[in-house]
Amino acid sequence: MTLTRERKILVAVAGLAALLVAADRLMLSGPQSAQAGTVAAAPAPTAPAAAAPAPGTTTEPTTVADNGPSLADRLERVRGQVMPEQRNAFTAPQAWAPARDEPAVVTATGFDPEAFARKHPLEAVTIQGNRRTAVVAGDVVTLGETREGMTLTAIEDGYVIWSGQGVRVRVRLHPR
């Protein structure tokens, strides 16, 4: 096997990494053999047990530096507490939503378009070539379908438009 330039570089980088790991283990971490928070076992006593301590004195076991309460103690303390509601990590923050430069309702006459928009929220939009579908209140809908006398007339990136009963209602896609 011939050592090409690429292999020589690879061997040099691997050697340097091994050297850095060895230096870290030997020089920087020191002679600690026990993990933090553990106590080495004491040697077994060879002499008979000593008499009780003198009056007014106490014997306390030797401990390793106290790093605060253990994880089990901290978890037990918060058990049953009501945690603040966590944000869903899989939804975009509200600040990323497009700016509302126009109202959600284009026109309205004798029909409550806000109630319609609340009852039929837009959950997803899929555009694949000429095929456009949307998920509205858990149902997959396509252009031309109707709900409560309103016909789906447009499916665009981020919103749909329902038309009928003398109104046009634009329902935007909002993260939950």
Per-residue pLDDT of the chain (176 residues; tens, 9 = 90+): 688 999 999 999 999 999 999 888 888 765 554 454 445 455 555 555 555 666 666 556 555 556 788 888 888 887 777 666 666 677 777 777 666 555 555 454 667 888 888 899 999 999 998 899 999 988 999 999 999 889 999 999 889 999 988 888 899 987 55
Please report, for the chain, the start and end positions of each structural domain, with discontinuous segments joined by +: 101-172
pTM here? 0.40
3-state secondary structure 75-106: HHHHCCCCCCCCCCCCCCCHHHCCCCCCCCEE
Give the number of other CB atoms < 10 A from CB of residue 104.
13
Residue at token pair 């806000």: 114
Q: What's the confidence (pLDDT) of residue 140? A: 94
Contact criterion met (CB below 8 Å) for 162 and 119: no
Q: What's the confidence (pLDDT) of residue 43? A: 52
d(CA 50, CA 47): 8
Architecture of the domain defined by 101-172: Roll (2.30)
Measuring CA to CA, which residue among 146, 143, 165 is closest to residue 154?
Answer: 143
Q: What's the confidence (pLDDT) of residue 142? A: 93
Q: What's the confidence (pLDDT) of residue 13? A: 95
Q: What's the confidence (pLDDT) of residue 61? A: 57
Q: What is the dihedral of CA 78, 82, 84, 88, to 10 degrees?
A: 100
